[in-house]
Amino acid sequence: MHLSPPQKQQLLGAVVEAAQGRVPVVPCASDSHPAGVIAFARFARQCGCPAVIACPPYYFRFSQEEIKAFFNRVADSIPLPLLLYDIPQFTNSIEPETVALLSRHPNIAGIKESSGNLHRLRQILEQQDKPGFAVLIGPDELVLPSVLAGARACVSGTSNIVPEALVALFDSIRSGHLNTAKLLQNEIIRLIQHLSQFNFPTGFKIAAECRGHELGDLKQVLSSGQKDGLTRFKRETSDLIKELLERISR
């Protein structure tokens, strides 16, 4: 959201180059109008991406019928499978009934459900009958209950900071060690709550730098209080990350 179209293209090219085919790169092509989504999806195809994800048009309010028309237009026009992105806190909502209808489109392959509402997630799962339709979640705070409910995976922000924690959490769930999974989930929530002292993604970007990743200047403007507390925040963040990694290695 904070990058210009050329910057988004430059970033995608750098990520694809760094991945070197080891993992699929699925970029976000969201825009306020179908043409913007379509254009970025075509660029993603040129970069070798296997799919793209997009949220509904934002800023103005749209009906569910208009949202269906938006996604059908995009899915009809792009050369890659499309994942829906439901994040109603920041844009228009994709209601579970609308997800069920859109999933019938042959080029719509799944959804990232980021409402943070487990009841909504269960509705999507219960209304879904398309083989292979991927239901993913966004909030790292809800990995454990969401996967137990039937979600396939998490599109994780915290894994940019402590991928070890998310891998350990998923391994614990899959192996049936739910007490360990609960402890790990709570530690991840603790870290996220700490990072929430800054607006997303600023806190996460600072945390990634605490792990040695050079990410450049912040796009968002910090308040005077945040600037004054930045050194302390970095120190506390480093301590939390160290503590979490030590817990995982035991």
Name the least confident of 8-12, 84-88, 246-250: 246-250
CATH top-level class of 1-155: alpha beta
What distance in Å separates the CA atoms of residue 212 and residue 188, rounded to the nearest whole number?
19
Mean pLDDT to the nearest integer, 91-106: 97
Residue 1 has pLDDT above 80, yes or no: no
pTM: 0.92
CB 70 within 8 A of CB 62: yes
* Cα–Cα distance for residue pair 127/117, rounded to 1 Å: 16
User: For 47-73, how does the pLDDT look when each residue is reduced to its tens digit (9 = 90+)?
Assistant: 999 999 999 998 899 999 999 999 999
Q: What per-residue confidence (pLDDT) applies to 215?
A: 85
Intra-chain end-to-end CA distance of the chain, in Å: 39
Has residue 194 got a pLDDT over 80? yes
Does the pLDDT of residue 2 top 80, yes or no? no
Q: Rounded to whole angstroms, how far apart are CA atoms 199 and 93?
A: 22
Catalytic residues: 85, 112
Q: How confident is the model at residue 216 (pLDDT cuts 50, 70, 90)?
A: confident
The pLDDT of 129-148, averaged and rounded, is 96
Q: What's the rounded Cα separation, in Å, for the pair 240 and 206?
A: 13
Q: Provide the residue ranges of all domains of the chain, joining segments of one domain with +.
A: 1-155, 160-250
